Structure 1
């Protein structure tokens, strides 16, 4: 059995993501078939999906929801972290066999990642981390880049005779969430104040990456398409909430970031 990824062992980490969907059944079917999540439970119409018994994604139905606006504040992507490079290789082979449309494939130095978009426009990243001891730091800032991913090398990491992709394996987690924001500096200040996060990287004035406990990032915030965005329109589909797990709290709390995105916090270990 694989170990729990480093991203989940820090004082604060991502627990679950909630999506509002105009077609909850269709969206749940997509995450089962493409991402390999399993349905864990249903309550009041909401569908909880996860890996093994770990809930990772909650899809909340709203048949009247307007489509998400990619120029507004909201979700850039939910990043599903697989425990090993071989797991990512299995997923690549699964995507190729099932003609799953991939929109990007990048080597970020700290990780290897593929990108796609679900049927309601929500971004998805599927990735694996390199070992933390392989990451390069310049003081308190981490070296990240966007280079071409060697897909063949990742696929070749799957052992010969392997059973192949069997769905998201145990100890898969949501490693990070990347948000669309109006001003990255406002996101940076909010996550510093509310969660004590560290700024680990910036891409000019358009993106900021923040984390707890020395991870490369639990939260990203960019204004690449959403510069100047104000508060979110609650009548639209897309991101409903982000849930963080924290060692530093004893009860559940809800708060909103500067754009009205609901950030939940729950106590307890991963």
Structure 2
């Protein structure tokens, strides 16, 4: 019988190779609002929300000064950061816009609202909030029916 992960299993953190540690810290802390919790000199840093030990690890151990990974190759598609509600998602969107960071896209998936962008090293980043499960779209048989509809970014900013 194949192993099934327990229902309360969560993804704990993402650890990224970056080319410039200071630039990466500026993005994940200065724009996305994660707090720097620990630093290992000029080679690595850990950041979190809410006092957790770390949600994001950054290091230059194998990537100092390197360019982005080539498109179309295996690797990280994006890391996703779940915000607690629509107001918080609007707040981080405002910070991204004010920093002049272009968006790759935005979508209402029915189950969630998501904003897509790239960090300074070209890594994909998804910022999203989940709707309550009772609001998730379902078909007549009760199966989940996610969608890919436009997201009203101005309404999200207005709610921030």
Task: Give the alignment's TM-score, normalised by structure 2.
Answer: 0.83
Partners of 2:154 and 2:111 in 1: how far apart?
18
Partners of 2:57 and 2:106 in 1: how far apart?
26
Q: Which residue of 2 aligns with 1:217?
A: none
SS in 1 for 2:71: coil
Q: CA deviation at 1:152?
A: 2.2
Q: Structure 2 matches for 1:89-100, cutoff 5 A?
A: 89-100=90-101
Q: Which residue of 2 aligns with 1:128?
A: 129
Q: Deviations over 1:168-197 (max 9, x none)?
A: xxxxxxxxxxxxxxxxxxxxxxxxxxxxxx
1:48 aligned to 2:50? Answer: no
Q: Structure 2 matches for 1:210-249, cutoff 5 A?
A: none
State which drifts further: 89-98 or 119-128.
89-98
Aligned length, in residue pairs: 150
5+ residue gaps, structure 2, are: 1-5
Q: Deviations over 1:9-67 (max 9, x none)?
A: 94211100111122222212211122111111123732101112121110111326563
Q: Which residue of 1 aligns with 2:116?
A: 115
Q: CA deviation at 1:70?
A: 2.2
Distance 1:122 1:131, change over 3 A: same
Q: CA deviation at 1:144?
A: 1.2
Partners of 1:12 and 1:137 in 2: how far apart?
24
SS in 2 for 1:90: helix
Q: Which residue of 2 aligns with 1:57?
A: 56
SS in 2 for 1:125: strand
Q: Which residue of 2 aligns with 1:152?
A: 154
The ranges of structure 1 where at least 4 consecutive aligned residues each deviate by more than 3 angstroms after the TM superposition are: 64-67, 137-141
Q: Structure 2 matches for 1:189-200, cutoff 5 A?
A: none
Which structure shows the higher strand fraction? 1
Q: Which residue of 1 aligns with 2:3?
A: none
Q: Is this contact kept in 2: 1:34–1:100, CA < 8 A?
A: no
Report the RMSD for the aligned CA atoms in angstroms: 2.2
Partners of 1:35 and 1:64 in 2: how far apart?
23
Q: Structure 2 matches for 1:81-96, cutoff 5 A?
A: 81-96=82-97
Partners of 1:72 and 1:32 in 2: how far apart?
28
Distance 1:98 1:140, change over 3 A: same
SS in 2 for 1:27: helix
Q: Is this contact kept in 2: 1:113–1:125, CA < 8 A?
A: yes
1:23 aligned to 2:8? Answer: no
SS in 2 for 1:15: coil
Aligned with residue 142 of structure 1, among 133, 141, 144: 144
Partners of 2:124 and 2:45 in 1: how far apart?
19
Q: Which residue of 2 aligns with 1:70?
A: 71
Partners of 1:90 and 1:40 in 2: how far apart?
22
